[in-house]
Structure 1
């Protein structure tokens, strides 16, 4: 098995650099995830999309509105630990915080409470971890980027 890894650095100022990792892996080395894990991931995403942070509008509708530049929806989503990202590696989508008051409230009492949502959401197709991002609490949290197309996929899985 031949693998190839490249590490590039990017100077971001103030004596700091950002590391970019590129790992080439043969397709036959990748194993599909078990069906139970995929089903749990989509169930977790449906839970998130159906949650109503304001008591009226589901997150799914807020994301759709925010993707169409509705600033009120963007703010409500950030308070819930969700941030719209219009250009993360040329994909439109959203980032779900790994921690924080808003996202904890969203998953509180569910099977994905206490941070377990991170594991489920990271199993979704196209999901990628992010570095720390500011949401609405004045703190930066890591998160999981999810492509916008997963909204449709989750509601029809």
Structure 2
């Protein structure tokens, strides 16, 4: 295994510095995720996409509407712990909060309650962690970005 590490510092004022770590690791061939983990991730995503935060419209329809600039859908999704983004590293998609009242409501009583949804999300193709973002509760939470194409993939998996 070949490794390379670079540490850079950035002066952010008031006698503080920010450290930036860049680590490159070349490893042997990656093993694919077990099928049951991928199946669970898509089952989770279908659960999320079929949830109706307003009691009428499923999340997947709200995301599609929000991607077409419907501000009402964007607000309802943010209350549910989901942010729609039109350009996150040149990709349309949505971000699911790792915690918070809204996202906890989505998973109450399910196998993904109490924050376990984060693990399922990270197994999906194209999933990427995000830094802290404000959803609708006045608090910032980390999240997981999912490409919009996963809506179709999950409903036809």
Per the normalisation by structure 2, the TM-score is: 0.89
**Which moved further from structure 2: 15-24 or 77-86?**
15-24
Structure number with greater Rg is: 2
Aligned to 2:66: 66
State how far apart, in whole Å, the 1-side matches of 2:78 and 2:24 are. Answer: 34
Secondary structure at 1:119's aligned position in 2? helix
Change (3 A) 1:12 1:145: farther
State how far apart, in whole Å, the 2-side matches of 1:99 and 1:110 are. Answer: 15
Return the offset for 1:13. 7.8
What whole-Å deviation, never above 9, does each CA across 1:10-55 have from its counterpart, x for those lacking one?
7778887776665545474322110010000000000000000000
Per the normalisation by structure 1, the TM-score is: 0.89
Change (3 A) 1:15 1:5: same
Aligned pair count reads: 157
Contact 2:2 2:27 in 1 (8 A): no
Change (3 A) 1:116 1:23: same
Return the offset for 1:4. 3.6
Change (3 A) 1:127 1:56: same
- Structure 2 residue runs of 5 or longer lacking an equivalent are none
Return the offset for 1:8. 5.9
Contact 2:9 2:18 in 1 (8 A): yes
Change (3 A) 1:14 1:112: farther
- Structure 1 residue runs of 5 or longer lacking an equivalent are none
Change (3 A) 1:115 1:5: same
Aligned to 2:127: 127
